[in-house]
């Protein structure tokens, strides 16, 4: 190799090594935020007011974050989509408050969001909370701003603890129960939306390899957990990390949480 070319290469490598860490081109991480209820008067630590929610989303947009759809999230995790400051905004449970308060924000700011629905509760009022009806789910999906996934059909409980209580049995009955539940949940969403869901959020974030295998066999290609953290391109799509948002969060704290 000519001496001048060798010196040029050495100088180039030295400049890269001396470059401040914050300026180096590092792969972006995907932040997945998880909300639950939106209430005028907050009654839970995992709820927020409509004003708070609107301020959170506006702050994310102003800070340059790019909200993703589920399809884009799958591409990002596969390493085939490059996005600056990606964020996925998710909701667990499927409260009716999302129709009243989240959908107007999504439309006004043109921000995609994802809802993980407890399908057995659709259109019902349980524990002083109203859940999204089939009509509302369909309208939200038709708006183009909402994806829907499963939060189980009727197993919104600590299923893992029940599974472990049956440890030692030759055939753990919880596995059969979970298999049936996820297939019902998938079918229910398909009957409402016209397509099978590709994502599931585990209740309380609890799962094990057997649960994951059942979910994969039921057609769920992305599994969301309560493991705290961020997701790099190439991360395991069956163990997606999330960041919870609480009633105490401000626009500033949400930006901090969304920043790896």
Other C-beta atoms within 10 Å of 22: how many?
6
Which residues, given as ranges, of the chain have pLDDT below 70? 1-27
Q: Where are the beta strands (DSSP E) in 123-172?
A: 125-126, 129-130, 146-150
Please report, rounded to a whole number, the percentage of residues in the chain having pLDDT higher than 90: 86
Q: Give the pLDDT of residue 3.
A: 56
Distance from C-alpha of 57 to C-alpha of 249, rounded to nearest angstrom: 12
Q: Give the pLDDT of residue 127.
A: 83
**Cα torsion angle, 31, 37, 39, 45, sign:** negative
Please choose, from the candidates 243, 237, 201, the residue with its C-alpha nearest in 3D space to the C-alpha of residue 31: 243
List the domain boundaries for the chain.
Answer: 28-258
Model pLDDT for residues 129-180, shown as the tens digit of each residue: 999 999 999 999 999 999 999 999 999 999 999 989 998 788 899 999 999 9
- Homologous superfamily (CATH) for 28-258: Glycoside hydrolase/deacetylase (3.20.20.370)
Model pLDDT for residues 207-219, shown as the tens digit of each residue: 999 999 999 999 9
Q: Give the pLDDT of residue 39.
A: 97
Q: Where are the beta strands (DSSP E) in 101-239?
A: 113-117, 125-126, 129-130, 146-150, 199-201, 222-228
Q: Give the pLDDT of residue 169.
A: 80
The DSSP symbol for 121 reads G
Q: Give the pLDDT of residue 11.
A: 46
End-to-end CA distance of the chain: 41
Q: Give the pLDDT of residue 168.
A: 79
Q: Give the pLDDT of residue 170.
A: 84
């Amino acid at each position: 190799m000519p001496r001048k070319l060798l010196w040029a290469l050495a100088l180039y490598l030295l400049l890269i090594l001396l470059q401040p860490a914050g300026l180096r081109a590092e792969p972006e991480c995907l932040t997945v935020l998880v909300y639950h209820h939106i209430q005028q008067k907050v009654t839970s630590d995992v709820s927020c007011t409509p004003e708070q929610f609107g301020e959170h989303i506006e702050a994310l947009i102003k800070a340059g974050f790019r909200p993703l759809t589920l399809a884009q999230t799958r591409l990002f995790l596969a390493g085939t989509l490059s996005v600056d400051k990606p964020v996925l905004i998710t909701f667990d449970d499927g409260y009716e408050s999302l129709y009243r308060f989240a959908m107007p924000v999504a439309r006004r700011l043109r921000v995609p969001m994802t809802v993980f629905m407890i399908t057995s509760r659709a259109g019902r009022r349980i524990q002083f909370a109203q859940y999204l009806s089939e009509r509302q789910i369909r309208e939200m999906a038709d708006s183009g701003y909402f994806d829907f996934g499963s939060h189980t059909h009727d197993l919104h409980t600590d299923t893992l603890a029940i599974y472990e209580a049956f440890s030692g049995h030759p055939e753990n009955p919880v596995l059969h129960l979970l298999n049936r539940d996820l297939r019902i949940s998938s079918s229910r969403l398909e009957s409402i939306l016209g397509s099978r869901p590709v994502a599931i959020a585990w209740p309380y974030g609890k799962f094990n390899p057997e649960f994951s295998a059942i979910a994969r066999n039921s057609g769920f290609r992305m599994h969301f957990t309560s493991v705290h953290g961020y997701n790099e391109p190439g991360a395991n799509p069956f163990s997606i990390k999330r960041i919870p948002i609480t009633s105490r969060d401000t626009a500033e704290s949400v930006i901090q949480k969304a920043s790896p």
